[in-house]
């Protein structure tokens, strides 16, 4: 069964460094998302992406964040200058039809 994959599973970085989290959505899906879950908190929406454009973004998704679909398979989330509070699990999701979103296993980002 097709699934969303994410790499790396765990990323440790120093404050102020740039990180890129990678996702391969399900191949025939058209809508892509990033969510995050800070330890002990809810899963929060960051951004949605369709047709090579951001469809919607949350207040969390400020100028330090960017997303890109550099080729036909990958979908990336870049954090330009990481802060301690960016430490979280980051989940990629995709949807085709009808409306259910399918999530990847997540990347645990630890900022030290």
Partner 1 sequence: DQQVKQNSPSLSVQEGRISILNCDYTNSMFDYFLWYKKYPAEGPTFLISISSIKDKNEDGRFTVFLNKSAKHLSLHIVPSQPGDSAVYFCAASLMEYGNKLVFGAGTILRVKS
Residues that bind partner 1 (CB under 8 A): 4, 6, 30-31, 33, 35, 41-45, 48, 50, 55-56, 58, 91, 93, 95, 99-106, 108
Indicate the residue among 20 and 30 with the shorter CB distance to partner 1.
30
Indicate the residue among 45 and 65 with the shorter CB distance to partner 1.
45
- Report in angstroms how near the CB of residue 88 gets to partner 1 at its nearest: 13
Place of tokens 């994410």: 6
Of 96, 94, 92, which Cα lies nearest the Cα of 106?
Answer: 92
Coil, helix or strand for 86?
A: helix
- Report in angstroms how near the CB of residue 81 gets to partner 1 at its nearest: 25
Indicate the residue among 18 and 68 with the shorter CB distance to partner 1.
68
Indicate the residue among 15 and 30 with the shorter CB distance to partner 1.
30
Q: Which residues contact 112 (CB under 8 A, 6 or more apart)?
A: 12, 13, 14, 15, 84
Distances (CA, A) of 66 to 33, 71, 90, 95: 12, 16, 14, 20
């Amino acid at each position: 069964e097709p699934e969303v994959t994410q790499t790396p599973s765990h990323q440790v970085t120093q404050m102020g460094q740039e990180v890129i989290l990678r996702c391969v959505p399900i191949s025939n899906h058209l809508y892509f998302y990033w969510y995050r879950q800070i330890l002990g908190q809810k899963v929060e929406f960051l951004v949605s992406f369709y047709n090579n454009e951001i469809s919607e973004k949350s207040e969390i998704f400020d100028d330090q964040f960017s997303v890109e679909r550099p080729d036909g398979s990958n979908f990336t989330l870049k954090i330009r200058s990481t802060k301690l509070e960016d430490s979280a699990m980051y989940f990629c999701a995709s949807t085709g039809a009808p409306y259910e979103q399918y999530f990847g296993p997540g990347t645990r980002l630890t900022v030290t």
